[in-house]
Structure 1
C-alpha cells in the first residue's frame, strides 16, 4: 500500500511525500529489493545523487546481482564523468546478462567518450551469441556501434529495424534523423534508403542522395506519433 501511494505521489511530483512513504515501507520490509530500487530511482529522478548511491549500495549488499541497482551505479558514475567506474558496472552486468541491451547501449556510449570503442565489439558478439533471433535492442546497439565507428549506411539499416519498437523506437528514429541530416551525409549511399521500408520512400523518384536523406528525415519526423509518451515519473 505504501509503495502504491508513493508512486502516485511521485507521479504528481510530491517527491518528499513519496520518499517518506518508501521509507515507511522499508521499515516494514527492510530487505525488499523492489521498494529499495524504487526509492533509488526516485532519488536519481530528483538528482539526489548521494542518496541514490547510498540506497543502491544498501540494495547491492543484500542482492549483489540486482540489475537495476547496478545500472544506476553505472549511470551515477557516468554523470560524474567517472567513466572507468561506469564501465566496470556495465561490464559486470553484461558478463552475467549479455543481452541486457540497455546496459550495452550505455556501455557503447561510455566507450565512445573514452576513445575505446573497439572494446565494445566482444560484448556485441557475446550478445549475438546469447540469443536465437535478433531483437530491436540488438539492432539498436549494433546501429549505435556502426554509427560511432563510421559506418552510417549500416547504422541506418540497423536503426530502421528497431524504429517501430515501443522501447527502442524513439531513440532509433532520433538517431536516424541525425544521420540523415548530418552535413557529412555524402558518405551515405542511395541504396541505403532504397533498402528501407517502402513507406519511407514510396513517393520519391529522386536519385540525389542528399535529397533522399532529407525526405527520409522528414517522413520519420511526420511518422513519429506512434511513440509512447513517458509518464512524469519514469526512469529507464
Structure 2
C-alpha cells in the first residue's frame, strides 16, 4: 500500500470501509489514490471507479450535492474511457458501455429523489439508452418517469418496446401498460391487462394487489374474490395461509371492505416476509392512524360525530411500527413519522411535524405527501388559511396514480374547508374530482350528501348517503344515521326504519337513532 501502486487494493479497502460506515477513513483512502498509475486508459478507468466510490460515500452521508458532483465527473471520465476502449481493449467495450449507462441511471435517480426534477431524470435515462438501447430495465424506468410527468403516450411507447423486444420484465411492462390505461381513464382496458396477466400467473401478487386497488377505485371490488380464489387454487389450500403475498392481497381486500381488524391480521402475517414487509407495515400504520378512513384534519362533521378522541392504544401501536418501518424512500419514512406525531394531537408534536414537512417541501418541490401533511398540521393548529393555500397548490397539479391517495386526501380536506365556509359549489367540484378517480370514495359521497342536506334537498342527500352507506360496507353508524334521517325527511319512512334496524343491530345504543328516527318513522306510518 505504501508504494502507491496497489490501486485496486485501495479501492477494495475504501469499499469495505464504506460498508463498515467508517466514512472519514474511506474518504482519506480515496483522496490518496493516484490518478497517474498505469497508462492513460487504465488511469481513466481507475478514476471512474474512484469517483463512483466517492459518490456512494456522499450518498450514505447525506452530502447529495457532492454526490451529484462526483457522478458528473465519473460520467465525463467514462466518456473519455469509451473514446479509447474501442482501439485499446475492444473486448471490454460492452462492460464499459454498461458502466456508463449505470452512471447515467444513478444521476437520474439522484435528480428524481433529491431534486424532484423529473425532466432531468428523463434526460439522463435517455442518455443511458444511448449506451445500451436494448436494456429493458432502463426503458421501464423511463416509462415510470413519463407516467409521473403525465406523458402517457411516451410511457406507453416504451412499454410496448419492452413487450416487443424483451423476454425479461414483460410482467412489469404489462402492469405499467395497465397503469397508463388507468391514467387515461380507460379503466376496462387497464383491468383487461391485469386479468390477462393473472390468468397466466394467478399467484403474481404484485399484479393482484394492483388489480384489487383498481377494482376498488372503479367500484367493482365485488370482483376481487374471484382472483383471490384463483391464487388460492394455484398455491394450494394448505399452503395459502403461509403465503405472505396472498395474505397481503387478502388484507388489502379486507381493508377496502372496511374490515380493519381482519386486514391488520393479514398484514401482520405478511410483514414477516422481506418482500412484503414494507407495504404491509405501512398499511398497518395507516390503519392505526385512521381506522375509519376519516378526512385527517377535516372538521365539517365534528359537531355531528364528535371531535374523535385519540385512540391511545392505536397510536402506541403506530409508534412501535414506525420504529421497525424500513424503506429505501427516506421521505416516505419521514411522512409516516410526522403523521404519527400529528395523530397525538399534542401541539408541540404537531409543530415538530409541520417543521419537518416544510423542510421536506424545500428538499423536494411539489412533493404532494409533504404538502398535504403541512395542510393537516396547519388545520390542527387552527391556521386554516395557510392550510387552504397549500391544498390549492395540490388542486392545480397533474393527478398521478402513484400519489392517488394523497391527491384524494387533499381534495377532501379542501372540500371540507370550503363546506365550513358555505362555499358549496367549490366543494362540489372537488368532490366530483374525487369520484372521477375513485368511485368507492365513501367520504366524497358523504360530503356531497351533507351539502344537499344543508340545502334541504333531502332526496338528493339520501341518494348520496346511500352510496356512502354502500361503500362503507354498511358498517359506519354515522352514515347510517344520516341516511335514515334523510329518508325520513324525504318521506321514505319504511326505508328509514330498515336502515335504523341495521344500525341498531350492530350499535344497539347508538344515540338518537331510536327516538329521532325509528319512533318518528313508525308514528308517521301509523298516521
Task: Report the TM range for the smaller structure's normalisation.
Answer: 0.7 to 0.9
Describe the shift of the 1:220–1:87 C-alpha distance in structure 2 as closer, same or farther (beyond 3 A).
same
Pick the aligned partner of 2:254 from 146, 162, 175: 146
Alignment match, 2:271: 163
> Who wins on radius of gyration, i.e. which is larger?
2
Pairing partner for 2:212 from 93, 97, 108: 108
Task: Tell me which of 133, 153, 159 is aligned to 1:56.
Answer: 159
Q: Contact conserved, 1:162 with 1:169, CA < 8 A, in 2?
A: yes
Q: Which has the higher contact order (CA 8 A, sep 6+)?
A: 1
> In the alignment, does 2:105 pair up with 1:7?
yes
Q: 1:175 to 1:99 in 2, by over 3 A?
A: same
RMSD, aligned α-carbons: 3.1
Residues 34-84 of structure 1 show CA distances to partners (whole Å, capped at 9, x for unaligned) of 443333234335443221111111222234881010011111222333221
Instruction: Give unmatched runs, 5+ long, in structure 2.
Output: 1-97, 112-119, 295-307, 331-401, 403-527
> Could you give the per-residue CA deviations for residues 115-160 of structure 1, whole angstroms, max 9, x where no partner exists?
2212111211111222253322211110111222243332121111
Structure 1 pair 78–43 and aligned structure 2 pair: CA distance change class (3 A): same
2 CA distance for matches of 1:42 and 1:71?
A: 15
Greater shift in the superposed pair: 61-70 or 105-114: 61-70
Would you say the 8 A contact 1:49–1:76 is kept in 2?
A: yes
1:182 match: 291
- The equivalent position to 1:21 in structure 2, one of 111, 121, 127, is 127
Separation in structure 2 between the aligned mates of residue 169 and residue 227 of structure 1, nearest angstrom = 8
Q: Distance in 2 between matches of 1:84 and 1:156?
A: 30
Aligned to 1:90: 194
Tell me the residue number matched to 1:40: 143
Which structure's residues are more often helix, by fraction?
A: 2
Question: Shift of residue 17 of structure 1?
Answer: 4.1
Q: Would the alpha carbon gap of residues 63 and 16 (structure 1) be closer, same or farther in structure 2, given more than 3 Å must change?
A: closer
Instruction: State the shift of 1:85 in Å.
Output: 1.6
**Matches of 1:11 and 1:183 in 2, distance apart?**
36
Q: Which of the residues 310, 318, 325 maps onto 1:227?
A: 325
| Contact 2:281-2:325 within 8 A present in 1 as well | no
Instruction: State how far apart, in whole Å, the 1-side matches of 2:122 and 2:140 are.
Output: 17
Aligned length in residues: 206
Aligned partners of 1:183, 1:166: CA distance in 2, in Å?
A: 28
Moved more, 118-127 or 166-175: 166-175
- TM-score between the two structures when normalised by the length of structure 2: 0.35
User: How far off is 1:177 after superposition?
Assistant: 3.7
**For residues 230 and 184 of structure 1, what CA distance do their matches in structure 2 show?**
26
**1:202-213 correspondence runs (5 A):** none
**Counterpart in the other structure of 1:79:** 183
Q: TM-score, normalised by structure 1?
A: 0.73
Q: Structure 1's 217 and 141: CA in aligned 2 closer, same or farther, altered over 3 A?
A: farther
- TM-aligned CA distance change 1:87 to 1:215, over 3 Å: same
1:102–1:229 Cα change, 3 Å: same
CA contact (8 A) 2:156 2:177 kept: yes
